Amino acid sequence: MCHKMKIILGNSLKEFLESQAKKNPIRADGSKFSWEEKNVQSDRVETGSSGLLDAIYLKKPAEGTVVVERSVAALIQERISNLEEEITHLRSRIRFFKIAILIFFVGAMMLVGEVFILLRGG
């Protein structure tokens, strides 16, 4: 099982990641992280948009105030528009099936009526 857990990284990939990390060095301080070049302390782990994602995907209760990053807001907006598109699509299907059921029902009623007339010998 152990060999399956190992992830082999090529040397070029290691170099690529290291060079990207040099461009954007991360400074860790406990559970807080900051990007060195900006010198801006980021405690998004505590108050960032990840709290909202957890509330949506993990159903964890959201805190009093939720701060949403622009990218996450865009993501949620996109998901909502996708879902709305799907709802419209499903609604049109439902309308189609309703009409079909109505036609079948009317047809069935007419058939029953015909049978009654025949039984009465009309």
Residues contributing to the site for another protein (CB under 8 A)? 1, 4-5, 7, 9, 12-13, 15-21, 23-26, 28, 31-33, 35, 44-45, 49-50, 53, 57-58, 69, 71-72, 75, 78-79, 82, 86
Tell me the closest approach of the beta carbon of residue 65 to another protein, in angstroms: 18
Dist CA 48 CA 73 (whole Å): 12
**Of the two residues 50 and 96, which places its CB atom closer to another protein in the complex?**
50
Cβ atoms within 10 A of the Cβ of 51, count?
Answer: 20
CB of 68 closer than 8 Å to CB of 52: yes
Tell me the closest approach of the beta carbon of residue 35 to another protein, in angstroms: 6
**Of the two residues 12 and 39, which places its CB atom closer to another protein in the complex?**
12
**Of the two residues 32 and 91, which places its CB atom closer to another protein in the complex?**
32
**Of the two residues 27 and 95, which places its CB atom closer to another protein in the complex?**
27
Q: Give the helix, strand, coil percentages of the chain, each rounded to 5.
A: 65, 10, 25
DSSP 31: T
CB of 31 closer than 8 Å to CB of 38: no
